[in-house]
Amino acid sequence: MQKSLKSAEYERLVAILVAARHQSGMRQQALAKKLGKPQSFVAKYEGGERRIDVIEFIAITRALGADPVRLFREFAAKQLAHSVKKRPS
């Protein structure tokens, strides 16, 4: 498992969070304010410069008005489908 911020898995997780933010109609600044963080916090994780942990994932999704369990299931389902495709027969 690649630990890089640039891994395909992490990029997919960030894409899910960015899509949720866009769907909510919230700008980075507004999300950061809800989280009690500077706008650069959002910009850095969305830009792949900073890794978020599970506690931050939950806080971010809740601030967006999204269901963290549903979004994580979406991520995990795609991860499972991707890993099944990579397995040798």
pLDDT tens-place string over residues 58-83 = 999 999 999 999 999 999 997 655 55
- How high is the pLDDT of residue 40? 98
Q: How far apart are CA 34 and CA 7, in angstroms?
A: 28
Mean pLDDT in residue range 6-11:
87
Domains of the chain by start residue, with CATH = 8-80 (1.10.260.40)
Mean pLDDT in residue range 45-58:
95
Q: Which residue has the higher pLDDT, 52 or 84?
A: 52
Which residue bears the tokens 């971010």? 60
pLDDT band at 45 (very low <50, low <70, confident <90, very high): very high
